[in-house]
Structure 1
């Protein structure tokens, strides 16, 4: 890999299941790397050992593999910047902490959380934005030693230079400027000795050669802080792009609380990976191509300039649309494996059934339902279907039974015989037939599914329809 190769990363902190907001971040970074022939890095940010869940990290990697989002560097793959779990990089961080302290860029902070909260309240009451007031910024070495002797473990704060402006070009938002006087000194190492996100995230991006980072715009204000740290350490940072968040119906960031399901839950519900990828690739990003795309196609059309800075609302109907597109595009053998319908149909009929009902399938249960409707006993009549049967009247179905028993039990022959004997045609004929044979008033094209039913099932269902129509007429009288 050359020095100019694009290298992106996904750097989750696995404390639970992977959700769609984080998945989109992973996808956009993977697509950017893929579009430029670069590398996609997976880094596990697990410095918060109390909240970190190893099983969540394993599940996350399984989710990424299921979606086809392979990483070229990271856990279980390796790479030149290993290790890729942050808790294994403590010695690296410690060396940089010592450098910052020695050069005056960092200092120990002994302030307690209650003291910090009191300072924030006072600042808000005075109409000022809350930021660290610099309480420990001028502690002498003797004062710091005395506090340590008292058993007070300090955090480590970065000393933000006053009177400067941090500028950078955001690949989504454009030119950005932040005054250092409005930032305030910030924690880079917690009191328990673990690295703070702002620090370890920036340092690892630099050391791993990350060239481009796409992340949620909730991180936008973190960027000037991280650039200040990297400048103090003499390290180069990536290009940053901050995209609008995905929100729920309530306008809040998408979460389990407002209806978001995890990737694992969506997989269990029967969603295909192509559906999730095509949906998320278009949440806050535009494509010229309106149809279903494979991963290479999604990468070819991806560009940071097409990423939106505005929030994007999660649309369950849009996701189901892409599910339908993915089902239509899947090959028959894959659908058979996915639907697992063999137990519901006679041997040898799976491909014919799938060809007949594919357009009406979204999830595995849909396939099983149509298998039962075609090959099982007469299905329950939905209310609309029963109404259509009653309106058509028993005479139509008695005529249909007679025609079917004469051998007109395949669809085209049955329809032709009924048109001739009853004068019915079009919707007046096809709607009651559909209701009688499938129990529903909507569904796949009738011809292939009726022909798959076979003569005995056709006669049985038509006879039931005649009985139902007669019963309903009798009740009216």
Structure 2
């Protein structure tokens, strides 16, 4: 097999969206599977819509996901001389020609074709043919350069996702490949880039299917080898409509802000159009070993936030607690948490992470250890009753001598319950309120052990 060379080639007209991230992931994984090369190319010829901020958003998204490129990023605007060189070669070879029709004249041609029930198209007025007399060149009008598309036959390719696709050449008019000012157009640039960068496999969204026959014809005209194409179906929202902002976050960089881990995002995106049996949870190393084009699905996938949360929960549980602490700390501090003199954050997160779906939820859950408790007065009246007060006092007295481990604290709680004839909730609820300020916490023995002997004693003393 020829060395695999894939590419991700976004246009910097906005953020890196979920669909683009999936395309990048599949292209990256295919290159990694075969020990090939993954190229990053920024297709920035749309000067009106391309922005430096959008370029940076793409680079930031790729970096957060960990989709490292081997070559690039290449910028099309820095390759203008190369495109002009190929245009000149095509003009000399007769596979392209100058067209002096004005935009208004071209629109009139399209309107005429539409009125006749035909596909709107350029009618070939300036296309040179043997024995054909071309019109007089209008004064002071700069021409565009058009590709001389074949008139007969079909363009057929075996799409690795959709199967065999055939489009008749008569459906394609002579594409403009250079504007009057000499700047090249999208499909032409893509074809030249894929040729120069020796791309072997092009994976992209199925909104590009109509571009493919044009690019294939250009590649054939310049004598280039054709890559294999695979067009990925769109990602839908829960309502079956193309994923958009109204479904929630679409920009990849909104997900870290919402508390998702990159490995969870990659794991989830991998399954939106590809499968390996019933496997749902896997590392990127495993994914690259498994990934193949035959397992890509041709039907659209639905983006499900509940499923993403479940995957994220798995990867939070798998994560190193020190790393989680680094992610949680900014939110804790922003919410007013005080870390100094409080339990070590990695130990707290080890206790809490099994039950949270996002880093933000984990930070919220951890806050009970990093703020002063302020229990609701009505709850205190409800749970800190006269029947319970002697048991709490007994518990507070035993704190000074008990070994400060989870197991020893649990045993001591059982002794206090037995001595006072109480059940666990009758003692645990007021202890939670006094020490943590809330009724919902993990196991009381684990919580007390993390708070530390001195803190627990001081907080209970306030209610003695």
User: TM-score if structure 1 supplies the norm length?
Assistant: 0.82
Q: Could you tell me whether the CA contact under 8 Å between 2:271 and 2:280 is conserved in 1? A: no
SS in 2 for 1:263: coil
- Is structure 2 residue 423 aligned with structure 1 residue 401? no
Match of 1:351 in 2: 346
Which one is further off, 33-42 or 369-378?
A: 369-378
SS in 2 for 1:89: helix
- Is structure 2 residue 95 aligned with structure 1 residue 105? yes
Residue 31 of structure 1 deviates from its aligned partner by 0.4
1:401 to 1:347, Cα distance in 2 relative to 1, 3 A:
closer
Q: Could you tell me whether the CA contact under 8 Å between 1:188 and 1:196 is conserved in 2? A: yes
Residue 121 of structure 1 deviates from its aligned partner by 4.8
Aligned partners of 2:176 and 2:31: how far apart in 1?
A: 32
Residue 251 of structure 1 deviates from its aligned partner by 4.0
Match of 1:78 in 2: none
Could you report, residue by residue, the CA deviation over 1:258-310 in whole angstroms, capped at 9, with x for unpaired residues? 53342333233433221221121111111347464332222112111121222
Aligned partners of 2:454 and 2:235: how far apart in 1?
A: 53
Residue 386 of structure 1 deviates from its aligned partner by 6.8
Residue 51 of structure 1 deviates from its aligned partner by 2.6
- Is structure 2 residue 372 aligned with structure 1 residue 373? no
1:365 to 1:168, Cα distance in 2 relative to 1, 3 A:
closer
What RMSD over aligned residues (CA atoms) do the two structures have, in Å?
3.3
Q: Which runs of structure 2 are paired with 1:139-150 in the superposition (5 Å)?
A: 143=135, 146-147=137-138, 149-150=139-140
SS in 2 for 1:15: coil
Match of 2:18 in 1: 20
Residue 117 of structure 1 deviates from its aligned partner by 4.5
1:156 to 1:429, Cα distance in 2 relative to 1, 3 A:
farther
Q: Could you tell me whether the CA contact under 8 Å between 1:403 and 1:414 is conserved in 2? A: no
Could you report, residue by residue, the CA deviation over 1:331-373 in whole angstroms, capped at 9, with x for unpaired residues? 1221222222694252662332122112234444444434431
1:434 to 1:292, Cα distance in 2 relative to 1, 3 A:
farther
Q: Could you tell me whether the CA contact under 8 Å between 2:122 and 2:173 is conserved in 1? A: yes
SS in 1 for 2:190: helix
Q: Could you tell me whether the CA contact under 8 Å between 2:6 and 2:28 is conserved in 1? A: yes
Select 1:87's aligned residue among 77, 95, 119.
Answer: 77
Q: Could you tell me whether the CA contact under 8 Å between 2:243 and 2:250 is conserved in 1? A: no
Match of 1:186 in 2: 175
Q: Could you tell me whether the CA contact under 8 Å between 2:9 and 2:40 is conserved in 1? A: yes
Q: Could you tell me whether the CA contact under 8 Å between 1:203 and 1:230 is conserved in 2? A: yes
Match of 2:412 in 1: 413
Match of 2:185 in 1: 196
Aligned partners of 2:354 and 2:340: how far apart in 1?
A: 19
Aligned partners of 1:109 and 1:380: how far apart in 2?
A: 79
- Is structure 2 residue 226 aligned with structure 1 residue 237? yes
Which one is further off, 301-310 or 452-461?
A: 452-461
Match of 1:49 in 2: 47
Match of 1:322 in 2: 311
Could you report, residue by residue, the CA deviation over 1:146-192 in whole angstroms, capped at 9, with x for unpaired residues? 22x23x33322222222301111111111111111122222222333
Q: Could you tell me whether the CA contact under 8 Å between 1:356 and 1:445 is conserved in 2? A: no
Residue 61 of structure 1 deviates from its aligned partner by 2.3
1:221 to 1:175, Cα distance in 2 relative to 1, 3 A:
same
Could you report, residue by residue, the CA deviation over 1:375-413 in whole angstroms, capped at 9, with x for unpaired residues? 5321555xxx977x7766734543442232232694442
Match of 1:81 in 2: none
SS in 1 for 2:398: coil
SS in 1 for 2:166: strand
Q: Could you tell me whether the CA contact under 8 Å between 2:388 and 2:427 is conserved in 1? A: no
Residue 432 of structure 1 deviates from its aligned partner by 7.2
Q: Which runs of structure 2 are paired with 1:70-469 in the superposition (5 Å)?
A: 70-75=68-73, 84-124=74-114, 126-137=116-127, 143=135, 146-147=137-138, 149-150=139-140, 152-249=141-238, 251-256=240-245, 258-288=247-277, 290=279, 292-340=281-329, 343-344=338-339, 346=341, 349-379=344-374, 394-395=385-386, 397-407=388-398, 410-418=409-417, 421-425=420-424, 438=436, 442-454=440-452, 458=456
1:102 to 1:335, Cα distance in 2 relative to 1, 3 A:
same
1:379 to 1:356, Cα distance in 2 relative to 1, 3 A:
farther
The 4+ residue runs of structure 1 with deviation greater than 6 A are 139-142, 459-464
Q: Could you tell me whether the CA contact under 8 Å between 1:48 and 1:194 is conserved in 2? A: no
Aligned partners of 1:125 and 1:444: how far apart in 2?
A: 72
Aligned partners of 1:314 and 1:291: how far apart in 2?
A: 15
Unaligned runs of 5+ in 2: 403-408
Unaligned runs of 5+ in 1: 76-83, 468-477
Q: Could you tell me whether the CA contact under 8 Å between 1:30 and 1:69 is conserved in 2? A: yes
Match of 1:473 in 2: none
Q: Could you tell me whether the CA contact under 8 Å between 1:15 and 1:51 is conserved in 2? A: yes
